Structure formats: C-alpha cells, structure tokens
A and B are shown apart, each in its own frame.
Chain A
C-alpha cells in the first residue's frame, strides 16, 4: 500500500518552460516532505524540502508547494534546463517520529526537450 504516490512516470517539457511534478500522500502523520533528484548510476541527491507548517518553499529555480488539506505537493522548476533531465522522487517523513526512514514515491522521469 503506497503512502506516497507519483502518478506520472514521465514528463516531457520544452527547455525554458515550467516543469511541474506532482505528488500525493495518504498518511496524515507525515510532517516533512522532500524532493530528490536522481541521475542514472548515481544515488538520489537532495533538492528541496518543506515542513507541514508551510505551504511554499523556494530555492532559486525550484519551488515546492504543499496543500495539506488535499495531501498534495508539487515541485515547480522554472525555467527548465537540459541539466534538469533526471528522475525526481517525492519523499515524506515524520510518521514515526524522530529520524525516520523516508517513504518514497516511484519517481517521475523528467525529460527536458531542447
């Protein structure tokens, strides 16, 4: 039973446009959400995070939005660049208290078209 869902396995966006990656969760105990980016043959690298007490967090070209009532978060990348092509994982923590193992979604493969 997946607690974090990324329903789009892939997304293709033109360079310079906005990329929007979506994520839904079911466990209302999660209080911290993260996005990781993964290139082939590498481990996931941390991108951006948001606490459940906020609804938006911005870091350069990356913005994460959280809608707690809908149990939905999204990652906006603007403008999209070729180096953004990667698999993006949504993750959540906090359900167990303390330093948890992260609960991941299946990932969305973002392809930036030139």
Chain B
C-alpha cells in the first residue's frame, strides 16, 4: 500500500511568487493534515480536513495560505504571495479515523525556499 506522497520534494521561489504544494494521502484516509517546520523549530500544525471539509484551520498563519481538498482525495496548499518567513518544510499527514488516538502517517515533506 502506498504511503502519503507529496509533490514537489523541493521548491525554490522568489518573494512575491506563488507556489502550490500537493499531498496525496493514503487511499481511504478521510483525515488529512498539513504541518510546517521552520528551521530549528518544532513541527507546527496548520490545518485538518475531514474529507473535503476543513475541520480545524486554527494553525494557518495568515490569509496568504489557502488549502483545498476538492473531492476529498488529494489536497493542495497554495502560498500567494510567498514571503521569506514561509521557508520551511511542509508535511502532510493522513489518518483513517477521526479520533486523536488514530495514527497519523506523514509524507516526506516539501522543502520550500523563498528567496
């Protein structure tokens, strides 16, 4: 069974540009999460989808970030316009059940560098 996949693995863009990250969860997992790790800091929760609905987006930094999950399968996270402080590794995770004890499986991450 395929794990969580993310694309691209790396992205280098200039300040002010737009970038779209994609996450494909494990097949059948209704719960999808986005996280971000800025260098030297902890991995921080951004938002949680249940199918196509945003369950919790309390961790989204500001309105330059837009997450979608149309059809309840893959998800995209768009940053527009990108700022220098958006640099970091963006992780996606998925879980089968909507309980906090269900294991979240992480993808390899997308490393975003904003110059």
Contacts and interface: CB of A to CB of B under 8 A. Distances in A.
29 contacts: A2-B42, A32-B100, A42-B108, A43-B4, A43-B91, A43-B106, A43-B107, A43-B108, A44-B91, A46-B104, A49-B101, A89-B42, A93-B100, A94-B100, A99-B31, A99-B95, A99-B99, A100-B45, A100-B48, A101-B33, A101-B35, A101-B45, A101-B46, A101-B56, A101-B58, A102-B33, A102-B45, A102-B104, A104-B43
B43 A100 contact: no
Contacts of A43: 4, 91, 93, 106-109
List 7 A-B pairs, minimum CB-CB distance, nearest first: A101-B45, A43-B106, A93-B100, A104-B43, A99-B98, A106-B42, A104-B42
Interface string B20-57: 00000000000101010000111111111010000110
Contact of B100 (A36, A44, A98, A105): A98
Interface residues of B, number: 34
Given A2-B42, A46-B105, 14 more contacts: A32-B100, A42-B108, A42-B109, A43-B4, A43-B109, A46-B103, A93-B101, A98-B98, A99-B55, A100-B100, A101-B48, A104-B35, A104-B42, A104-B43
B97 interface: yes
Interface of B: 4, 31, 33, 35, 40-48, 50, 55-56, 58-59, 91, 93, 95, 97-109
